[in-house]
Amino acid sequence: MNTPEAPSNPKKSNDVWILEYHPLSEPAPVFLLWYTDTDKESTDKLFTAKTGEIFATHSLNDLKHTIVRNLSILNQFDNLSNWLNDPEDRAHLEVMSYNMSKLHKAIANRQFDIEVLEELTNFINLFGDFVYQDEANIHLKPFTDNKYIRKAWDYFYNYIFWPRLNDKNRFETWDRPPFNVNVVKLTNGLEELIRQFEQKIVIIK
C-alpha cells in the first residue's frame, strides 16, 4: 500500500523514529527503529538484521548501545551514524507506540472511533513498509490485501484522513458515515497481520 504520511507523526530527527511495540500476547514492549531511506523514493523502512528480520530490543535506555554492539549483524543505513551520534540525544522524545493488545481488543469490541481506526491504519501502513522494503517480503502482501483490512484502511483515508486534512473545522462537525464491517473477519485479518509481523521480529541483546 502506498500511503500518505499520517499527520500525527512526530517531527523526524535524522529521519529516524523509535517505535515502542507491545506484542499481542507479551506483557513487555520491545523497541524497533523506523527510518526514511535516502533512496530516490525516500522509502520508509524498518531497521533489520542481515537475516532480514526486524531489529528489536527490550531496553529503550540501552537501545543505541545495543545497536553499536551489534552493527556487524545489522543492515546499516545512511543516517544511522548521525542518529547514533546525535549530541542532543532526542531519541527518547520521539517514541511512537503500537499497542497490539489494546488495538485488538478495541476492534473485537466494535470500537471504531477515530483513534482506533487511526491506530489500525498506522499498523497496516507499518506492515506495508516492511513488505515493500525488500523483495524477500513481498509474499506478505496478501495479508494487507485482505478484504476486511483493506476496507478499514480505505474508510480511514476516505472519511477521516483526507476530510480532516482538507478542512479541519468542517471535519470536526461532520457527521461521517458509520464504519460497517464484518467484525469477526476484520479481527481475524488483524490477528493474522500481527502474527506475521511478530514472527519477523528478532530480539537483539
Task: Give DSSP secondary structure letters for 51-91.
Answer: TSPEEEBS-STTHHHHHHHTGGGB---TTHHHHHT-TT--G
The residue among 4 and 34 whose pLDDT is bigger is 34
The per-residue pLDDT for range 25-79, each reduced to its tens digit, is 988 999 999 999 888 888 999 999 999 999 999 999 999 999 999 999 999 999 8
pTM of the shown model: 0.90
The whole-number pLDDT of residue 19 equals 96
The per-residue pLDDT for range 144-178, each reduced to its tens digit, is 999 999 999 999 999 999 999 999 999 999 999 99
pLDDT exceeds cutoff 50 at 5: no
The whole-number pLDDT of residue 38 equals 87
Domain membership of residue 7 (yes or no) is no
User: Which H or E element spans position 32?
Assistant: strand 30-36
DSSP state letters, 81-121:
HHHHT-TT--GGGSEEEEEHHHHHHHHHTT---HHHHHHHH
Domain membership of residue 5 (yes or no) is no
Domain membership of residue 23 (yes or no) is yes
Domain membership of residue 164 (yes or no) is yes
Range of the domain at 183: 16-203
Domain membership of residue 8 (yes or no) is no
**Highest mean pLDDT out of 8-12, 23-27, 190-194:** 190-194
Domain membership of residue 2 (yes or no) is no
Q: The C-alpha cell of 94 is what?
A: 520521539
Domain membership of residue 11 (yes or no) is no
The per-residue pLDDT for range 127-152, each reduced to its tens digit, is 999 999 999 999 999 999 999 999 99
Q: How many domains does the chain have?
A: 1
Pairing of strands 95-99, 16-22: parallel
CB 78 within 8 A of CB 37: yes
pLDDT exceeds cutoff 80 at 205: yes
The whole-number pLDDT of residue 15 equals 86
The per-residue pLDDT for range 89-131, each reduced to its tens digit, is 555 556 899 999 999 999 999 999 999 999 999 999 999 999 9
Domain membership of residue 83 (yes or no) is yes
Beta bridge partners of 30: 21
